[in-house]
Amino acid sequence: MNDFDLIVIGSGPGGYVAAIRASQLGMKTAIVERENLGGVCLNWGCIPTKALLRSAEVLHLAKTASAYGLKVDKADFDLEGVVKRSRGVAAQLSGGVKHLMKKNKITVIEGSATLKKGKDAPDVVVGDKTYTAKHVLLATGARARAIPQAGLEPDGKLVWTYREAMTPDVMPKRLLVIGSGAIGIEFASFYNELGSDVTVVEAVDRILPAEDAEISTFAHKSFEKQGITIKTAAQVKGLKKGKNSVTAEVSMGGKTEMIEVDRVILAIGIVANSEGLGLEALGVKLDRTHVVVDGFGRTGVKGLYAIGDLTGGPWLAHKASHEGVICVEAIHGKTAGAHPFDPWNVPGCTYSHPQVASVGLTEAQAKETGKKLKVGKFPFIGNGKAIALGAPEGLVKTIFDAETGELLGAHMVGAEVTELIQGYVIAREGELTEEDLMHTIFPHPTLSEMMHESVLAAEGRALHI
């Protein structure tokens, strides 16, 4: 007899949500965690970084208070206090996950898990104990990728990963960020706002390379306007570490430049936590460290499933949570209305200043489909709420299939766009057309009106530009 119906390995946003859904469906569930409940996202990723960025945002508002007719004398920050608040937020939410496990009668098993061949599903070994289940779900996530080159490895002092970058003991006067994806840009934005002289180096020809090129260009100009130095199509060839500084050798356009900084942040992607689990012996298929699964999380090995960052991009917490629910419901047999995971309906968000958000195809990707397109654009400067907020810089862009009216993609840069993007996500999930969106009423005055205007603009009917 099995100990559990389902054992989930990893308690990040994918794992703990999957465990809760399983419990709701009446499954006897356990979750294995080797460190902190909530995983990287709640403890070292999504949540604490947003707390840091919020502190930077408040500081920015204080510094620019005069633009709003207000007086704030000597706006400054306390680094220890900023970090303490961020860690406090993380601790509160990790404690919240612990409460949810207890509430949903989910057994929490502390330690590192390995798998070995079992009857219904692989057996789960934690320490000197072996647990059995009808189903096992892997949600072990991923970790920061290191550059496979001598001298570029993180050391926790001069060369940081996201963990050290979230808990700095000193504020670097000069900072080099290697990589311009969401993680790199968020840290660049945070440290720039707090006064660091920030340089971003990106290997490809534009920052935020997963985003639409036009949005990427807009963000690039905005970051440079704020004082961030950006070097694209550039590579860091080496780092020479001093006592309390680092000299980076940067190659760009056939020329080499030496840049001296106080600290370096590596933000060049992630590597799946797939090693040490015993997957190879079970016959699990891997693709560049990621576990290969179908749209319901099935690995092809009886009783074994995987979700989240472990299975590849997009590497986002909400993607992992959604996959967890889809997977558990498929395991349970709750298939009415079920459909496999669709990565093109996952919104992407970068919480920098300005924010960036998107869903679906970029314009370049949409063109590759061969479909005839309609593209609408609307600038923040045409929106009354944006002007009232003192945030008139930004752009909303929508891409439609000209023949069917299908919303192929939506892309945004500017204030609060990470909150706005969900409207377009619902439109894509609900298969709403351009016509449906044009006849939707958006409240006034709101930033969301720009979403409507961008849709109208695709038809040449924008009202406020």
pLDDT tens digits, 422-460? 999 999 999 999 999 999 999 999 999 999 999 999 999
95's CB contacts (< 8 A; 6+ apart) are none
Give the model confidence (pLDDT) of 56-109 as tens digits: 999 999 999 999 999 999 999 999 999 999 999 999 999 999 999 999 999 999
In a domain, 349, yes or no: no
* Pairing state between β 133-138 and 304-306: parallel
124 and 202 share one domain: no
Residue 417 CA to residue 219 CA, distance in Å, equals 13
Q: 3-state DSSP call for residue 430?
A: coil
Residue 64 CA to residue 72 CA, distance in Å, equals 9
- Confirm whether 135 is a catalytic residue: no
367 and 323 share one domain: no
* Overall number of domains in the chain: 3
15 and 112 share one domain: yes
Give the model confidence (pLDDT) of 260-299 as tens digits: 999 999 999 889 999 999 999 999 999 999 999 999 999 9
417 and 314 share one domain: no
In a domain, 164, yes or no: yes
Distances in Å between the Cα of 169 and the Cα atoms of 73, 85, 263, 388 are: 26, 14, 11, 37
Domain end call among 201, 234, 268: 268
263 and 167 share one domain: yes
Judged against a pLDDT cut of 90, whether residue 153 lies above it is answered with no
42 and 180 share one domain: no
To the nearest 5 percent, what fractions of the chain are helix, strand and coil?
35, 25, 40
Other Cβ atoms closer than 10 A to 87: 16
In a domain, 238, yes or no: yes
255 and 293 share one domain: no
In a domain, 390, yes or no: yes
Candidates 135, 290, 332, 444; catalytic one: 444
In a domain, 152, yes or no: no
**DSSP label at residue 465:** -
Tokens, residue 57? 């945002």
Residue 45 structural domain: 4-144+271-343
209 and 255 share one domain: yes
124 and 207 share one domain: no
Burial grade of 267 (CB within 10 A; 0-12, 13-18, 19 or more): buried
Split at pLDDT 50, 70, 90, the class of 337 is low
pLDDT at 53: 97
Phi, psi of 19, rounded to the nearest 5 degrees: -65, -40
pLDDT at 1: 66
10 and 98 share one domain: yes
Judged against a pLDDT cut of 70, whether residue 335 lies above it is answered with no
Among 41-45, 237-241, 332-336, the least confident range: 332-336
123 and 182 share one domain: no
Residue 276 CA to residue 290 CA, distance in Å, equals 13
408 and 445 share one domain: yes
CATH of the domain at 245: 3.50.50.60
In a domain, 276, yes or no: yes
Domain end call among 268, 286, 304: 268
